[in-house]
Chain A
Amino acid sequence: MEIKVLAFGIARDILGGPELKISGPENLTVGRLLELLKERYPAFVDLTSLAIAVNAEYANENQPISAGDEIVIIPPVAGG
């Protein structure tokens, strides 16, 4: 399954662009996606936190990812 991942802030800098196409297993979960990202881009390991949003909601690690979901990497937020 190929999915498209969007990135903002420092995550965009780490990826070198605003989106990444990544192929993963059919039973991909949020937790496995985080592992894949950290394996491919070790700079993610150094961040204070790293979360994934699925369809504009924070997702827990067990959540499955389906083709067509909007997947966004959420590095440490700093609003306000």
Chain B
Amino acid sequence: MTIDIQLLTTPLDTNVCQQWVEAPDKGGLVLFVGTVRNHTQGKEVLRLDFEAYEPMAISEMRKIAMTITERWPESRVAIHHRVGQLAIGDIAVIIAVGTAHRAAAFAACQYAIDTLKQTVPIWKKEIFADGEVWVAAHP
């Protein structure tokens, strides 16, 4: 197994993801860590609520990881995403990629987060002091 896909309701751990992609032949490890930001378009965000269509979220994340192992052979990949109520600063997603050299790890990690945001059925609602909004729902 070279990929590790997790959809979790508990806090995410960067060490777990880094350790998954470490190996003696992997000279480049790239981690992307997405956290909950305290503002959006000038408005203060109090928290984010994430939800997922779980079986498909896992299968779509697995597709991303499988594509990476095909496009960048010999890579190791971990994608962990959290769901539920998250506070400012909490980690929403970790993507870790380990490859022989750094260029492939950077490229694969960028591919993973960009594709995740387009295809994985996970939704987030921003909670403000005076209301809430589903992110990206409207143009």
- Which A residues are closer than 8 A to B by beta carbons? 6, 8-10, 13, 46-48, 53, 56-58, 72, 74-80
A58: chain B residues within 8 A (beta carbon): 119
B93, chain A: closest CB distance, angstroms? 5
Please pick, from A8, A74, A80, the residue contacting B51 in the complex, using a CB distance under 8 A: A8
Contact present for B55 and A56 (CB under 8 Å): yes
Question: 30 A-B pairs, CB-CB below 8 angstroms?
Answer: A6-B53, A8-B53, A8-B121, A8-B123, A9-B51, A9-B123, A9-B137, A10-B134, A13-B134, A46-B138, A48-B138, A53-B56, A53-B121, A56-B55, A56-B56, A72-B53, A74-B53, A77-B117, A77-B119, A77-B120, A77-B121, A77-B136, A78-B123, A78-B134, A79-B92, A79-B116, A79-B123, A79-B124, A80-B113, A80-B116
A6: chain B residues within 8 A (beta carbon): 53
Give complex CA distance A76, B117 in Å.
10
Contact present for B56 and A76 (CB under 8 Å): no
Contact present for A77 and B134 (CB under 8 Å): no
Give complex CA distance A24, B7 in Å.
34
Q: Which residue of A has the minimal Cβ distance to B133?
A: A10
Residues of chain B at interface, number, CB under 8 A: 29
A8: chain B residues within 8 A (beta carbon): 51-53, 121, 123
CB within 8 Å of A: which B106-127 residues: 113, 116-125
Known: A56-B56, A74-B121, A79-B122. A48 touches B116 (CB 8 A): no
B123: chain A residues within 8 A (beta carbon): 8-10, 75, 77-79
Is the CB of B1 closer than 8 A to any CB of chain A?
no
A53-B53, A79-B52 given. 8 additional CB < 8 A pairs? A8-B123, A13-B134, A48-B138, A53-B56, A74-B53, A78-B124, A78-B136, A80-B113
A17, chain B: closest CB distance, angstroms? 14
